[in-house]
């Protein structure tokens, strides 16, 4: 199995990333907590294993899970990847987890002789499917260079930002901005619509102005047509990342008032039970707070890819 890639975690992102590796000609063995989510990958050539330890013979094992605790569990918990006699040479983790948790995991793995590379990404499942992810890595430079062929198969660009857990800081900063931008975009869109500007007209004008971005353009179809069931990222996952952002700000002594306010807004979304739809539902909640009931505009437009 030395030339075979192992993979743990097949949510929307993990599944799309594995498919890119398979399409690039790599062999892959995969494990997922819910086996039924792994089974469709067999059609693409993946080998589905019953136990995480079955992946220990792979030279490189990628992990893509939700939280620090999840990563600790799949690596070191009962039946974890590195709990058997055999161990992979390298673990590459693309999850969004804390800097502190990542450092603990690095120390544990390296103490076992297993190399560790952080490689979080920018992009949703649609972006991953298209091979357009931005992958930002940290850890030993030589290890990053060794992983480059795999990263190149999954994304449009890979970057090394330094040693240790710096890629975690990058991802935390990235997703904190993610939250602040959607908060502000929803606020100004509600302001414009309540004043009388059609939503799609206002969003088009922002997209064509100096304030427009790849992100505002990608989010415009959902905000216009209120298609929040087309999930790219949930409020609960965004809240986790906003909490990581506030934790990092405290640790490094950085005041982030806009992020703090956004964190509370996202927490309210979660508290209202919006767990399984897209976080852009923030637009509807902001409108309700302003006494405005939104309706889909059913405007045809390209939805692009979301960064």
Are both 26 and 106 inside the same structural domain?
yes
Residue 68 sits in a domain of what CATH number?
A: 3.40.50.720
pTM equals 0.91
Q: Show pLDDT as tens, one digit a residue, over the chain (307 residues).
A: 456 899 999 999 999 999 999 999 999 999 999 999 999 999 999 999 999 999 999 999 999 999 999 999 999 999 999 999 999 999 999 999 999 999 999 999 999 999 999 999 999 999 999 999 999 999 999 999 999 999 999 999 999 999 999 999 999 999 999 999 999 999 999 999 999 999 999 999 999 999 999 999 999 999 999 999 999 999 999 999 999 999 999 999 999 999 999 999 999 999 999 988 999 999 999 999 999 999 999 888 765 544 3
* pLDDT of amino acid 246: 97
Are both 254 and 117 inside the same structural domain?
no
Of 298, 303, 263, the closest CA to residue 282 belongs to 263
Q: What is the 3-state secondary structure (H, E, C) of the chain?
A: CCCEEEEECCCHHHHHHHHHHHHCCCEEEEECCCHHHHHHHHHHCCEECCCHHHHCCCCEEEECCCCHHHHHHHHHCCCCCCCCCCCCCEEEECCCCCHHHHHHHHHHHHHCCCEEEECCEECCHHHHHCCCEEEEEECCHHHHHHHHHHHHHHEEEEEEEECCCHHHHHHHHHHHHHHHHHHHHHHHHHHHHHHCCCHHHHHHHHHCCCCCCHHHHHHHHHHHHCCCCCCCCCHHHHHHHHHHHHHHHHHHCCCCHHHHHHHHHHHHHHHCCCCCCCHHHHHHHHHHHCCCCCCCCCCCCCCCCCC
Are both 139 and 9 inside the same structural domain?
yes
Are both 177 and 38 inside the same structural domain?
no
Token couple for 100: 């502190």
Query: Which of 164, 196, 228 finishes a domain?
Result: 164
Residue 100 domain flag: yes
- With beta carbons less than 8 A apart as the criterion, state whether 117 and 93 touch: yes
Are both 160 and 23 inside the same structural domain?
yes
Are both 212 and 135 inside the same structural domain?
no
Query: Which of 148, 164, 180 finishes a domain?
Result: 164
Are both 25 and 156 inside the same structural domain?
yes
Counting the structural domains of the chain, the total is 2
Containing domain of residue 67, as a range? Answer: 4-164
* pLDDT of amino acid 302: 61
Are both 102 and 39 inside the same structural domain?
yes
Are both 8 and 155 inside the same structural domain?
yes
Residue 217 sits in a domain of what CATH number?
A: 1.10.1040.10
Residue 81 domain flag: yes
Are both 200 and 274 inside the same structural domain?
yes
Residue 301 domain flag: no
């Amino acid at each position: 199995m030395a030339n075979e890639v192992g993979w743990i975690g097949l949510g929307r992102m993990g599944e799309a990333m594995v498919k890119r590796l398979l399409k690039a000609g790599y062999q892959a063995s995969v494990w997922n907590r819910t086996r039924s989510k792994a089974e469709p990958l067999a059609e693409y050539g993946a080998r589905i294993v019953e136990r995480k330890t079955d992946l220990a013979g792979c030279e490189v094992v990628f992990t893509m899970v939700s939280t620090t605790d999840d990563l600790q569990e799949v690596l070191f918990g009962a039946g974890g990847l590195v709990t058997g006699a055999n161990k992979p040479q390298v673990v590459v983790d693309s999850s969004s987890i804390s800097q502190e948790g990542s450092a603990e995991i690095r120390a544990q793995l390296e103490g076992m002789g297993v190399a560790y590379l952080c490689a979080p990404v920018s992009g949703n499942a649609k972006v991953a499917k298209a091979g357009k992810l931005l992958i930002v890595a940290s850890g030993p430079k030589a290890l990053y260079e060794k992983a480059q062929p795999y990263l190149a198969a999954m994304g449009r660009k890979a970057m090394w930002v330094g040693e240790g857990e710096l890629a975690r800081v990058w991802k935390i900063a990235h997703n904190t901005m993610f939250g602040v931008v959607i908060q502000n975009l929803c606020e100004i869109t509600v302001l414009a619509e309540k004043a009388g500007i059609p939503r799609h007209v206002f969003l088009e004008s922002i997209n064509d102005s100096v304030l427009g971005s790849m992100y505002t353009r990608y989010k415009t179809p959902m905000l216009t047509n209120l298609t929040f069931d087309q999930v790219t990222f949930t409020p609960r996952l965004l809240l986790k990342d906003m909490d990581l952002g506030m934790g990092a700000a405290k640790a490094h002594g950085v005041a982030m008032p806009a992020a703090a306010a956004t964190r509370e807004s996202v927490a309210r979304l979660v508290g209202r039970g919006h767990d399984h739809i897209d976080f852009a539902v923030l637009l509807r909640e902001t409108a309700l707070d302003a006494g405005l009931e939104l309706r889909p505009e059913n405007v045809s437009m390209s939805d692009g890819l979301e960064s």
